[in-house]
Amino acid sequence: MGFLDSLIGRTRLPKSNEDKIFAMSTAMLTLQTSAELQPGTRIGIVFRSLPSGRFQQLNRDTVEMLKLQDKSAPEDSLKVNQVKDDLGFQWLVVDGPEFESVLAAIHAVAMGLLDEGLGDCLLAAVFPFQLSGRPVYWIYGYKEATFYPFVPNGDHRRDNAEEIRLAAIAKEDLPVETDMERWYAIWGVPL
Amino acid sequence: MLASREAQPVRTGPGPQPLGLALGELSANGYIRDIVQRKLGSDRGLTLRMALTMFLLAVVYLIFVGVLLLMHIGIATIVVVVAVLLAAQYYFSDKMVLSALKARMVTPQQYPQLYDIVGRLAQLTGTPMPKLAVIPSQVPNALATGRDPKHAVIVVTTGILNQLDPKELEAVLAHELSHVIHRDVKVMAMAGFFATVASLIVQSGMWFGMFGGFGYGGGGYGRGRNSDQGEGMIVIILVAAVVWAISFVLIRALSRYREYAADRGSAVITQEPSQLASALQKISGTMSRIPTQDLRQMQSANALMIFPAVHVGKGSLAEIFSTHPSLEHRLAKLRDLESRISS
């Protein structure tokens, strides 16, 4: 929002930016070795409700694309699930044996939406991890083009100390969000 | 904030081809403009009216300041007093509103759904997570305050949480978040500055007139000079009164335009103007009078809960919102936005 936008009261959603998401593939090693995080096999991408029918089509397209991309992989190793959460946001959850191809699929979904002029719908991509048995998430916010950690600790409570520790470890490899007021919580991650 | 992000190249990389949609329009930073924002377009009329109102306000204020300077009136004191008062009000707007309305800050554990909805909206709009407060009142209402997005507080009544369904609540919260994004507290504080100076001059002038009397200065020596000053004082008070009256009307108009703009912002954010329309109808009480509860259950339920007394009295929330456009006008605008999105 520029000065003029606020002066005349114009709301414009910030443009989504998915360029930085690949930083996660280089940060993977650090997160596993230094932060002792166990990566999951899935990545979820969450967006505000798409026009009717578009979500189902996106799902089909993603499955097709994964098949083309990874011909060697067994037919059922790559899975795409669609979830609608309680807040009316839609999730596409991609699951596969190889992190790189799952990330590429998420990238392709985001870019497809951007190319269609549906980029405003993009909210975040969620990378699940395990830290000594409990879930830890790294979230990529498309509006800020930054990553931030999210460690749920019971009902609507966050383990802020752990989040700050993770952010400190990852800040060399990931564009970590510096403004902690933008570490938006995403409760009930369907991953 | 985010407008300063460097320009992005047009995307031509690999990836799925756009499916079945004719595209074209690129926004300034190289992305294809979002379909919904393209459909909603911009409300030129609203922008023009808002700009005209601000221009007129500036003209009135400039004339006012000009007259004061021409008459060599030492209003420095009063300007400084008002500046300090308004700066304090602006700086502490969040705390003052909260204490005036008996609102209390709430935690995510207390109001998980409220936090979830606002969190998603904040992330969608790239706004820092605002603080959330709740007023224990059955009158359905919501408001936003705080001097900038970093200090924003969104306040809701328990009444609105109970009456609206989640989608409607989301639309209302998006409206409030739009106020934050538009920096309405800042804009209205600036718009009201000289109106406050004028009102203070009028009020202190009346006080002065009542107790001190104008003109006649008492002793013979220097009588003429005092008399001149007295006449000057009357002119100043009259000018201030006119400035006060005109700026009052202009500020009210500006406030209504900011409301339309926030309604529009809610439509941009949620893409569902019909939800806000529905929420507004409920808040205004037209829909809350239609009972949704089973007749058999109603026997035991408190009738007051189903027919909330929307009471417009001194100090009630409804009074604060008297600067809003009429429900009919807002609904008409929202219907127009809805038809644009679904076209």
- From the list B109, B122, B265, the residue facing A184 with the nearest CB is B122
A48 vs B: CB within 8 A: yes
8 Å CB contact of B37 and A13: yes
Helix H or strand E encompassing B240: helix B223-270
Strands A146-150 and B104-105: unpaired
- Active site residues per annotation of B: 176
Q: Which structure tokens are listed for A127? A: 């990378």
Q: Which of chain B's residues have a Cβ under 8 Å away from the Cβ of A179? A: 128
Residue B312: what pLDDT? 34
pLDDT of B211 strictly over 60: no
Q: Distance of CA B304 to CAs B159, B191, B287, B300, Å?
A: 12, 40, 15, 12
Q: Nearest chain B residue to A62 by CA: give it.
A: B16
> How close is the nearest chain A Cα to the Cα of B324, in Å?
15
User: For residues B206 and A39, what is the distance between their CA atoms, to the nearest angstrom?
Assistant: 74
Which one, of B154, B157, B168, B166, lies nearest residue B308 by Cα?
A: B157
pLDDT of B176 strictly over 90: yes
Domains of chain A and CATH, by start: 13-182 (3.30.70.2860)
User: For residues A36 and B159, what is the distance between their CA atoms, to the nearest angstrom?
Assistant: 47
Q: Nearest chain B residue to A54 by CA: give it.
A: B19
3-state secondary structure (DSSP) of residue A52: coil
Q: How many CA atoms lie within 13 A of B298 on its CB side?
A: 10
Model ipTM? 0.88
Query: Which residue is listed with tokens 């969190």?
Result: B119
Helix H or strand E encompassing B129: none
Q: Which of A23-27, B132-136, B230-234, B297-301 has the lowest mean pLDDT?
A: B297-301
What mean pLDDT do residues B33-54 have? 83
> How close is the nearest chain A Cα to the Cα of B239, in Å?
28
What mean pLDDT do residues B318-331 have? 67
Q: Where are the domains of chain B?
A: 44-286+304-342
User: Which band of pLDDT confidence, cut at 50, 70 and 90, is reported for residue B285?
Assistant: confident
A168 vs B: CB within 8 A: no
